[in-house]
Every structure is written in structure tokens, then in C-alpha cells.
């Protein structure tokens, strides 16, 4: 490769960007152009065809809703046991919530194929009476929600996320503190940076033992929504949100990097 375009911005990852650009550490590294954050769905939601969850959010107080969403592919869906623990934790927290639920994968001892797009049976998956007891305070959405629009909504106060990079950038650019619950691949590494370096989230520890218990989820939701730690996270993510906006303004680092990418001489590739 003669160059690499990265969906990030320099002030978010200064150590990594600095190391990759230092010939002492990466002598054969091609130029790195940090041109992010590139976030889908950056426009305002239109009333026509507006998702039901956005209409519900319009009726909630500012920064009062915990949003739980674990990616759009369905890979790594939570077990039936985990879904019940999540429901109990959310109910006991006393906070408003918007939760995107997918059907759990089959047990390991079955040959049943897993269809991540299957419509989940909420009455069977969630504790008896949960939907009724939390009606008005919570909304459970099947399969999918417009995540970027939900995160930008004024009612959203926290984001429980699997730490996929697109979700990380959407949370940061929306200025929403995050509860980090990685599932697979690079998400565990992203979680470490989110918690230890960026300072925009807290880790939900139970994922390391296979199941996040209701008590931990309740406590972490309360911590972010009520406590001083939540205020600290909110202030830190707000700083990153402002830096992300500046990166793409005239004179910003990402706009300058993209301009450099366009102006740099590239070798002509001739194919036989």
C-alpha cells in the first residue's frame, strides 16, 4: 500500500498516530491519513417514515434514557439467560431505557441453524410481566433501531455498546457516555482504549465470565446516569465530540489530512 485512510481523528488517538508516523518505530509504514470521524446518518431525522423509537424518545426527558444496542449483524447475540439478566437489571435500575433485542442463538448441543434476522418472541425471552411493568418507562425494539439518530437524540443519556468502531465513533460524536460490553474481534481492544485512554466509558465486567449479572448492569447504569463518575465521563466525551467537529472544519486535522491525500503524488499503476 502507498497510503492508508483511517476513520479516526488525530486528537482521539495521538499516541497511535504518532507512533505510526514515526520512522523510528514504523520505518516501512506508508503515510497514514486520519480522515474521520466518518459517521453514517448524520442528517436530521425526517418526520415521514420516522422510526417508532424516535417518536417515543421525543416524549422522554433530556438525557434520561439508556440505549442498549449491540450491532447490526446479529453475530454474537446474547443467550436467553443473558437477556433475562439484562431485563432484571434494567427494571431494578429505575431508569428509562430503549433496548434493541435479537433472538438468542440456539444451544450448543443442537444442530438448529441460527438466523440472526429471526423475529424474537419477547414474551418468551423476557421475564414474565416485564414488558407490562416497564411500559412507558422502557421500550423494547426488535432487531434494529436507527442507532446514529438515537444517539444524537437529546433524550439519550447513556449507551450500552459492544464497542464496534462505528458505534464508538457514533457515541463520541453524539457526546454520549458508554457502558462497554465487547463481544468479539477487535471490540475487546476498543474497550480498553475507550475506558483507559479516551475516558468515555466504563467496563461491564461480567462479559469476561460469560454472563453479565443483573446486579452489575443495574449498578453500572446507576453509576453513569446518577453518579459523579457519570458526570466525569459526560464531560470527557463532550471534549472529544467538540474535537471531532473541529477536525472536519476548515483548517481541521482531518480536512487537512484528506487534502494532503488528494494532493500527494501517487504512483501510476499499470496492469498488463
How far out from the chain centre does Cα 34 lie? 20
φ, ψ at 45 (rounded to 5°): -70, 135
* Entry pTM: 0.92
Q: What per-residue confidence (pLDDT) applies to 45?
A: 54
The CA-based diameter of the chain, rounded to the nearest angstrom, is 68
CB 101 within 8 A of CB 84: no
Own/partner pairs for 249-258, CB < 8 Å, 24+ apart? 253/9, 253/10, 253/11, 253/34, 254/9, 254/10, 254/34, 254/35, 254/36, 254/37, 257/10, 257/33, 257/34, 257/35, 258/33, 258/35
Tell me which residue has cell 458508554. Answer: 178
**CA–CA distance, 47 with 175 (Å, rounded to integer):** 23
Q: What per-residue confidence (pLDDT) applies to 106?
A: 81
- Write the CB contacts of 124 (distance below 8 Å, at least 6 apart in sequence): none
**CA–CA distance, 84 with 65 (Å, rounded to integer):** 20
Q: What per-residue confidence (pLDDT) applies to 241?
A: 98
Cis-peptide into 213, omega within 30 deg? no
DSSP string, 105-170: PPPTT--PPP-TTSPP-HHHHSPTTHHHHTBTTEEEEES---HHHHHHSTTEEEEEE---HHHHHH
CB 164 within 8 A of CB 122: no
**CA–CA distance, 175 with 200 (Å, rounded to integer):** 9
The dihedral built from the CA positions of residue 231, 15, 12 and 205, taken in this order, carries a sign that is: negative
Helix or strand holding residue 242 (H, E)? helix 228-247
Mean pLDDT by 10 residues, the chain (272 residues): 93 94 89 94 65 97 97 74 97 98 79 77 96 97 95 98 97 98 95 97 96 98 95 98 97 96 80 58
Q: What per-residue confidence (pLDDT) applies to 115?
A: 75
Q: How far is CA 165 from CA 38, 188, 191, in A?
A: 11, 11, 10
CB 65 within 8 A of CB 96: yes
Q: Which three cell numbers stand for residue 53?
A: 423509537
Strands 32-34 and 4-6: parallel
Amino acid at each position: 500500500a502507498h497510503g492508508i485512510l483511517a476513520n479516526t481523528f488525530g486528537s482521539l488517538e495521538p499516541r497511535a498516530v504518532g507512533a505510526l508516523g514515526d520512522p523510528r518505530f514504523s520505518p516501512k509504514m506508508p503515510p497514514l491519513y486520519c480522515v474521520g470521524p466518518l459517521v453514517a446518518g448524520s442528517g436530521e431525522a425526517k418526520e415521514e417514515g420516522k422510526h417508532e423509537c424516535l417518536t417515543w424518545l421525543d416524549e422522554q426527558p433530556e438525557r434520561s434514557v439508556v440505549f442498549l444496542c449491540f450491532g447490526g449483524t446479529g453475530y454474537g447475540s446474547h443467550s436467553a439467560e443473558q437477556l433475562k439478566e439484562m431485563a432484571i437489571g434494567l427494571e431494578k435500575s429505575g431508569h428509562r431505557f430503549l433496548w434493541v433485542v435479537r433472538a438468542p442463538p440456539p444451544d450448543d448441543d443442537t444442530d438448529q441453524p441460527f438466523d440472526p434476522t429471526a423475529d424474537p418472541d419477547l414474551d418468551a425471552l423476557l421475564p414474565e410481566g416485564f414488558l407490562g411493568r416497564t411500559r412507558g418507562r422502557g421500550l423494547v425494539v426488535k432487531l434494529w433501531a436507527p442507532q446514529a439518530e438515537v444517539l444524537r437524540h437529546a433524550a439519550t443519556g447513556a449507551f450500552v455498546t459492544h464497542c464496534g468502531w462505528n458505534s464508538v465513533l457514533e457515541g463520541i460524536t453524539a457526546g454520549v457516555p458508554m457502558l462497554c460490553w465487547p463481544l468479539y474481534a477487535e471490540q475487546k481492544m476498543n474497550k480498553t482504549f475507550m475506558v483507559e485512554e479516551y475516558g468515555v466509558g466504563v467496563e461491564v465486567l461480567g462479559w469476561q465470565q460469560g454472563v453479565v449479572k443483573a446486579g452489575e448492569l443495574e449498578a453500572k447504569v446507576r453509576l453513569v446516569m446518577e453518579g459523579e463518575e457519570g458526570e466525569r465521563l459526560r464531560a470527557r466525551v463532550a471534549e472529544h465530540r467538540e474535537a471531532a467537529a473541529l477536525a472536519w472544519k476548515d483548517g481541521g486535522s482531518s480536512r487537512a489530512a484528506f487534502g494532503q491525500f488528494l494532493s500527494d503524488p501517487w504512483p501510476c499503476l499499470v496492469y498488463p
